């Protein structure tokens, strides 16, 4: 066996999730065999110089420099009937029994192949509206979400690939309060993450202390008495007439959202107008949902595959006055990784034909990084200081601009994505924020991929890479216990030491650690937000980030966090405060670990 693994949990993750066994016959004897399998399959998509690209792809994967999404590691080159994509958003749910159960079937087929799915339930009529055609009363979107939750649980019990789900609901849907409150029951919707679609108009109404109308598009068989208003509803491209069913105080509804997430960590918020305004394909699609962890906003049947550059592998002379990050080598890896993720699109299977069409039409990818917190520690920087945020911003800027330049070169070689419109795409706001040479080349040569950057949670693949810190997150704790699913469906616990601390101890033994060794509970919630805001300008998809909040953090202080996220220009926000409903995946001696929900390490779609 290879000795690349320095922690037992990393070997366990490889053996149970990513090692290829064909009918119990071992194919991947070592992690190097896994890298070779993935590199070889991705290089097979090249029309020219396949052997050269095989070498380059292997070098990127070697020593965990580049960590493709888990579906890519597990499925590429195996010949299995699985998708290589992490993230899907499903189609519009038609407001009928046929439409609901068609959508349920599509979700089941997608999750069976390993994809995480997102749904917008706003198209389902609110509870209490009479459905005259069948002589009944509508039960509302939350009631139907329970059917999805049962479906996901059934798939998990059959040993199907772990997938997670995201459910969204508009902030002006009449059942929004039930949606906000549903997770107060520890047994409700445990396979879902929930996010409220928050509009600019709602944020303005909060500022003005206005009444906020809760509305739904006029239904032919329902009563149309009362006032109406025009809204671009979910699944629509132009305004439709909506009936105002009742009004609430905007601030009261906002306080309800904040109180729920304070008490049981959900729902999160998605600033949906900002997402659509900044969408590179805003000229042809409307977004109302994301993948389960929130880093990929997608249109109906949209899909995206992910990969992360492991920043710790580019740190030289750690813990010295000459410690530095090799930005040139990192950039070279980003260039190669862009090509690798683009090739995934051509190799992947898709559960549904319409997903194939969307993925090939836009060729979305999501390249980001992981190991940021450990990298900062090895460079002598505290996560919450300005220099750390400036470094993170410069790293993401380099990855972004490198990926865009690489995608332009791919367009010269292989052609632009088919949804590219030369009179529309170059004028989109994010494209206009890029350097002059990139904007000029996009206009002249086109580009291979509509979107290129995202920062994913990377929980599992970061553990695979010898327990580096995850994504954009600070170090959770330097010593902690993590629960991990085993191959037979049971759980085992691993006592873990953070990667940066392990490197320090390897070099300095028991010498006291310096001040840059900060962990989550040393940081203010605002430090999390500021770090996310520092890198957001270089992310054309979105960022998965959990704002960890101390258990004793005052609600009056907590209640301003989502508003600050909006003011900082973020696309969404999620918080976590330890509580008896959600418990914890990673636990210290002072924390009680209970059953967790959809996006824990066993089910997250990376």
**Surface-to-core class of residue 49, CB atoms within 10 Å of its CB (0-12 exposed, 13-18 middle, 19+ buried):** exposed
Asked whether residue 209 carries a pLDDT value surpassing 50, the answer given is yes
Asked whether residue 605 carries a pLDDT value surpassing 60, the answer given is no
- Percent of the chain residues past pLDDT 70, beyond the cut: 92
Least confident of 64-73, 138-147, 481-490, 531-540: 481-490
Q: Please give the average per-residue pLDDT across 294-314, as a whole number.
A: 97
Asked whether residue 581 carries a pLDDT value surpassing 90, the answer given is no
Asked whether residue 133 carries a pLDDT value surpassing 80, the answer given is no
Taking alpha carbons only, the member of 203, 208, 364 closest to residue 269 is 203
Q: Please give the average per-residue pLDDT across 48-67, as a whole number.
A: 97
Say if residues 53 and 443 touch (Cβ distance below 8 Å). no
Asked whether residue 475 carries a pLDDT value surpassing 80, the answer given is yes
Neighbours of 435 (CB within 10 A): 12
pLDDT at 486: 74
pLDDT at 404: 99
Residue 570 — very low, low, confident or very high, per pLDDT cuts 50/70/90? very high
Active site (catalytic) residues: 291, 293, 295
Taking alpha carbons only, the member of 303, 312, 373, 345 closest to residue 86 is 303
- Percent of the chain residues past pLDDT 90, beyond the cut: 83
Residue 168 — very low, low, confident or very high, per pLDDT cuts 50/70/90? very high
Q: How far apart are CA 192 and CA 183, in angstroms?
A: 10
Q: What pTM was computed for the model?
A: 0.95
pLDDT at 233: 95
Asked whether residue 598 carries a pLDDT value surpassing 50, the answer given is no
pLDDT at 158: 61
The per-residue DSSP string of 69-82 comes to -HHHHHHTTS--S-
Q: Please give the average per-residue pLDDT across 395-412, as a whole number.
A: 98
Asked whether residue 24 carries a pLDDT value surpassing 90, the answer given is no
Least confident of 87-101, 155-169, 236-250, 496-510: 155-169
Say if residues 239 and 230 touch (Cβ distance below 8 Å). yes
Residue 597 — very low, low, confident or very high, per pLDDT cuts 50/70/90? very low
pLDDT 10s digits, 338-375: 999 999 999 999 999 999 999 999 999 999 999 999 99
Return the SS3 of 240: strand
Say if residues 519 and 474 touch (Cβ distance below 8 Å). yes
Asked whether residue 162 carries a pLDDT value surpassing 70, the answer given is no
- Mean pLDDT, all residues of the chain: 92
Asked whether residue 589 carries a pLDDT value surpassing 80, the answer given is no
Say if residues 48 and 8 touch (Cβ distance below 8 Å). no
Q: What share of the chain is helix, strand, coil (3-state, %, to 5)?
A: 40, 20, 40
């Amino acid at each position: 066996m290879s000795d690349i693994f320095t922690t037992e949990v990393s070997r366990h993750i490889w053996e149970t999730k990513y090692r290829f066994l064909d009918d119990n016959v071992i194919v991947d004897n070592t992690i190097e065999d896994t890298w070779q399998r993935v590199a070889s399959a991705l290089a097979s998509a090249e029309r020219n110089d396949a052997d050269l690209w095989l070498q380059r792809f292997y070098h990127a994967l070697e020593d965990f420099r580049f960590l493709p999404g888990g579906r890519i590691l597990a499925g590429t080159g195996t010949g299995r009937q699985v998708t290589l994509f992490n993230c899907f958003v499903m189609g519009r749910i038609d407001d009928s029994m046929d439409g609901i159960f068609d959508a349920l079937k599509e979700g089941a087929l997608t999750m069976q192949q390993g994809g995480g799915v997102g749904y917008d339930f706003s198209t389902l009529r609110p509870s209490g509206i009479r459905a005259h055609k069948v002589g009944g009363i509508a039960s509302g979107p939350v009631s139907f979400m329970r059917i999805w939750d049962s479906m996901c649980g059934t798939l998990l019990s059959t040993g199907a690939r772990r997938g997670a789900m995201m459910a969204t609901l508009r902030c002006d849907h009449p059942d929004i309060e039930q949606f906000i409150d549903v997770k107060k029951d520890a047994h409700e919707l445990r396979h879902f993450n929930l996010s409220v679609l928050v509009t600019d108009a709602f944020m303005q109404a909060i500022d003005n202390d206005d009444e906020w109308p809760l509305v739904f598009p006029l239904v032919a068989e329902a009563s149309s008495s009362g006032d109406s208003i025009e809204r671009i509803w979910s699944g629509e491209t132009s305004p439709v007439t909506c009936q105002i069913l009742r009004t609430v105080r905007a601030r009261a509804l906002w306080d309800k959202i904040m109180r729920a997430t304070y008490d049981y960590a959900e729902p999160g918020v998605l600033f949906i107008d900002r997402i659509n305004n900044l969408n590179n394909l805003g000229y042809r699609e409307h977004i109302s949902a994301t993948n389960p962890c929130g880093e990929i906003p997608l249109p109906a049947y949209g899909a995206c595959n992910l990969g992360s550059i492991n920043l710790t592998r580019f740190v030289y002379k750690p813990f010295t006055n000459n410690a530095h990050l090799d930005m040139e080598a990192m950039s070279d890896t980003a260039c190669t990784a862009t090509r690798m993720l683009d090739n995934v699109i051509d190799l992947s299977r898709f559960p549904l034909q319409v997903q194939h069409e969307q993925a090939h039409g836009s060729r979305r990818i999501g390249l980001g990084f992981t190991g940021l917190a450990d990298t900062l520690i090895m460079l002598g920087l505290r996560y919450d200081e300005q220099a750390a945020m400036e470094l993170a911003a410069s790293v993401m800027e380099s990855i972004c601009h490198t990926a865009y330049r690489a995608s332009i070169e791919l367009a010269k070689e292989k052609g632009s994505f088919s949804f590219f419109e030369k009179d529309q795409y170059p004028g989109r706001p994010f494209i206009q924020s890029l350097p002059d040479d990139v904007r000029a080349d996009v206009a002249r040569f086109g580009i291979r991929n509509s979107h290129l950057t995202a920062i994913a949670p990377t929980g599992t693949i970061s553990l695979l890479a010898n327990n580096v810190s995850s994504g954009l997150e600070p170090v959770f704790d330097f010593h902690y216990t993590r629960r991990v699913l085993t191959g037979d469906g049971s759980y085992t616990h691993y006592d873990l030491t953070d990667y940066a601390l392990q490197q320090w101890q390897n070099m300095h033994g028991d010498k006291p650690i310096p001040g840059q060794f900060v962990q989550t509970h040393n940081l203010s919630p605002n430090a999390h937000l500021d770090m996310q805001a520092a890198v957001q300008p270089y992310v054309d998809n979105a960022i998965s980030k959990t704002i960890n909040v101390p258990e004793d953090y005052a609600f009056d202080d907590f209640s301003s966090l989502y508003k600050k996220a909006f003011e900082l220009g973020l696309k969404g926000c999620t918080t976590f405060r330890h509580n008896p409903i959600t418990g914890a995946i990673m636990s210290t001696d002072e924390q009680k670990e209970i059953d967790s929900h959809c996006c824990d390490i066993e089910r997250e779609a990376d």
